[in-house]
Structure 1
Amino acid sequence: MDLTTATWTEMDDAETDLALLPVGSTEQHGPHAPLSTDTLNAETLAERAAERHPDPVVVAPPVPVAIAEEHRRFAGTLWTSESTFRSYVRDIVGSLASHGWDRVVLVNGHGGNVPALREVAGRIVRHDDAYAVPFTWFEEVGDHSSDMGHGGPLETALLRHANPETVREERLDEAAEGGSDRWGDWQGRVNLAFDSDEFTDNGVVGDPREGSAELGEELLETASRALVDLLDAVAERDPGPTAE
């Protein structure tokens, strides 16, 4: 049940309390992948899980701008403050809940959003008339999670499978050669770098040439199964009373 294509009368007839809110980012993903990579991938996961779930699930429009200042030196990257981001997500969940869709999974496609989404979900559960939990798709792909990178094999694979027209195939060699094999600049367990241009020339971490469409199909299958299972758990959860 896609809010971007439905009419209000169709949604008025929706008999469900489950909703998915894709949360992405507008940020660099190297010379080969679009700035909308995180948003596209979050939408792909949300749409697939909604299709697979036996009960109706509302899919909200995605949040396209988020916490991405670490990519600020690459043209086109947009970002907001953590406080603005948390407030915006909370307001959207509140809007969904006002229509009765008050059990919401925040389907995340950007690593920089993870701490803020966990924090705002906690605020929602404790203080609002809704229940929300975050789900980050690349954390739910089994052993492949360790290959995440940035604009690397996993993100590129999912794009190649679900949105192949967005990948600049002729730039994959350039992306791999100008990238880094590790996120950050480390001294022991301390990351000395705050911005991605400090350790990758073109914004890439990992080798995107290893991200085939076939791998993308596998990633989508694995992550969407996990998201369907999470929806089941959310539907059955008793979150307890909210704070006064």
Structure 2
Amino acid sequence: MHLSDRTWTDAADAETDLAVLPVGSTEQHGPHAPLGTDVLTAEAVADAGAERYDGEVVVAPAIPVGVAEEHRQFSGTLWVSEETFRSYVRETVASLAAHGWDRVVLVNGHGGNVAALREVAGRIVRRDDAYAVPFTWFESVGEHAADMGHGGPLETAVLRAVAPELVREDRVEDAREGASDGWGEWQSGVNLAFDSAEFTENGVVGDPEAGDAERGDELLELGADALAALLDAIEERDLSRPDRR
């Protein structure tokens, strides 16, 4: 059940305590992919996982702005501080829990959100009347995960599968030519670069041409299976505090 297209009376009839909250970012993804890529992919995986799950689950509207200052040099990128982001996620989860949807999966589409989501989920579980875990879709796709870049093969593949009209196919070659092979500038296990503009000319990491629609369909299937299995585990999980068991 998608909250955005239901009435409050529909929501009141929901017989579940499970919810998924897509979380993305509005940021550059090279010259060929839209600024909303991380939102679109998070929503696509959330939808596919909710459909695959054998039971009812509430799908909340996506959070569209995240921790993305590392892309600040590229026009259109929006960002908030980690503190603001964590507070927004925490309060959104609290509002879901107030309606009885207190087991929440944060379906994430942006690497810059990962650390903040893990921290805030822990705070929610320890201090609030809810349970939340982060699920970053591109970490759940098996061997494909090694190819995750930025505006590269995985994100481009999912876009080609779910919103092909948003991929500027005439700019893919330019995206390839200005891309870097990997994320960051590494020395002694340390990433010396804080901003993506330091190591990629046009914001792309990886080869977008390696992500066709067929691969996108496979990624969605893998992500959906993983999310459905996670929802099963959370629905069955004992959420009482360890010191009270």
The question of a shared fold, defined as TM-score above 0.5 by the shorter chain, is answered with yes
| Code of the aligned partner of 1:52 | R
Give the count of matched residue pairs.
243
Provide the residue aligned with 2:75 in structure 1: 75
Q: Does 1:49 align with 2:49?
A: yes
Unmatched 5+ stretches in structure 1 = none
Decide whether the 8 Å contact of 1:125 with 1:242 is kept in 2: no
| Code of the aligned partner of 2:221 | E
Distance 2:45 2:235 in 1: 18
Decide whether the 8 Å contact of 1:43 with 1:62 is kept in 2: yes
Distance 2:226 2:120 in 1: 22
Decide whether the 8 Å contact of 1:4 with 1:60 is kept in 2: yes
| Code of the aligned partner of 2:103 | R
Distance 2:98 2:123 in 1: 17
Aligned pair in 2 of structure 1 residues 36, 59: CA closer, same or farther (>3 Å)? same
Provide the residue aligned with 1:85 in structure 2: 85
Distance 1:140 1:50 in 2: 15
TM-score (norm 2): 0.98
Distance 2:13 2:66 in 1: 32
Q: Percent identity?
A: 70
Matches within 5 A, 1:103-114: 103-114=103-114
Provide the residue aligned with 2:229 in structure 1: 229
Decide whether the 8 Å contact of 1:172 with 1:208 is kept in 2: yes
Provide the residue aligned with 1:205 in structure 2: 205
Provide the residue aligned with 1:19 in structure 2: 19
Distance 1:33 1:125 in 2: 36
Distance 2:184 2:125 in 1: 33
| Code of the aligned partner of 1:182 | G
Matches within 5 A, 1:32-181: 32-181=32-181
Distance 1:234 1:132 in 2: 9
TM-score (norm 1): 0.98
Residue deviations 1:23-54, cap 9 Å, x none? 00000000000000000000001111111111
Provide the residue aligned with 1:29 in structure 2: 29
Distance 1:242 1:200 in 2: 46
Structure 1 moving runs of 4+ over 4 Å = none
Cα RMSD after superposing both structures: 1.0
TM-superposed deviation, 1:239: 2.5
| Code of the aligned partner of 1:105 | V
Distance 1:225 1:206 in 2: 25
